[in-house]
């Protein structure tokens, strides 16, 4: 599920590299889910969720700065999508992970896959097209 696909390419190299990193973090969670062992992953889950949140925050800040610099008219809507993502990841991180490791990983993966790929293919492509037209 968490594998780079050329359909996700925005044409903005730095943004594409950042998206690849977010997908890689999702792949780490996916590996945990499908490991099929009974190990306690609490520390690794928390570390990975925090990595996801921190990197997403870095990436979102970068995107929003780029949009501001180019007067992207839908910046506020895009920013609200980013804010929703961070709040949702925060909520997942506050759940009782220790007793629900598999379900928390599964919920996080489900949310991340639906949100990230939809966001890239819709919202990010929209601003990437705007930037291409503006610089074209």
Q: What is the block-wise mean pLDDT of the chain (136 residues), using blocks of 10 residues? A: 94 97 94 73 85 96 97 98 94 76 84 95 97 87
Evaluate whether residue 33 is within a structural domain: yes
Evaluate whether residue 3 is within a structural domain: no
Evaluate whether residue 40 is within a structural domain: yes
How far is it, in rounded angstroms, from Cα 99 to Cα 95? 10
pLDDT recorded at residue 10? 97
Q: Which long-range contacts (CB under 8 A, 24 or more apart) does 122-125 make?
A: 123/77, 123/78, 123/81, 124/10, 124/15, 124/19, 124/63, 125/10
pLDDT recorded at residue 99? 72
Evaluate whether residue 8 is within a structural domain: no
On the CB side of 120, CA atoms within 13 Å amount to 24
Evaluate whether residue 6 is within a structural domain: no
pLDDT recorded at residue 100? 76
What is the span of the domain harbouring residue 27?
13-135
Evaluate whether residue 4 is within a structural domain: no
Look up the CATH number of the domain holding residue 40: 1.20.120.50
pLDDT recorded at residue 36? 67
**Rounded to two decimals, what is the model's pTM?**
0.90
For 14-30, how does the pLDDT look when each residue is reduced to its tens digit (9 = 90+)?
Answer: 999 999 999 999 999 89
Evaluate whether residue 114 is within a structural domain: yes
Number of domains in the chain: 1
Evaluate whether residue 7 is within a structural domain: no
pLDDT recorded at residue 130? 97
pLDDT recorded at residue 38? 58
């Amino acid at each position: 599920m968490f594998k780079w696909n050329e359909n996700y390419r925005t044409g903005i190299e730095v943004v594409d590299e950042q998206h690849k990193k977010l997908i890689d973090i999702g792949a780490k969670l996916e590996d945990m889910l499908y490991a099929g062992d009974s190990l306690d992953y609490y520390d690794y889950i928390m570390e990975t969720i925090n990595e996801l949140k921190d990197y997403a925050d870095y990436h979102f800040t970068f995107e929003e700065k780029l949009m501001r610099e180019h007067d992207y008219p839908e910046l506020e809507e895009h920013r609200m999508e980013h804010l929703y993502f961070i709040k949702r990841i925060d909520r997942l991180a506050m759940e009782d992970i220790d007793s629900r490791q598999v379900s928390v990983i599964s919920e996080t993966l489900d949310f991340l896959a639906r949100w990230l790929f939809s966001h890239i293919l819709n919202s990010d492509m929209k601003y990437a097209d705007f930037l291409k037209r503006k610089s074209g």
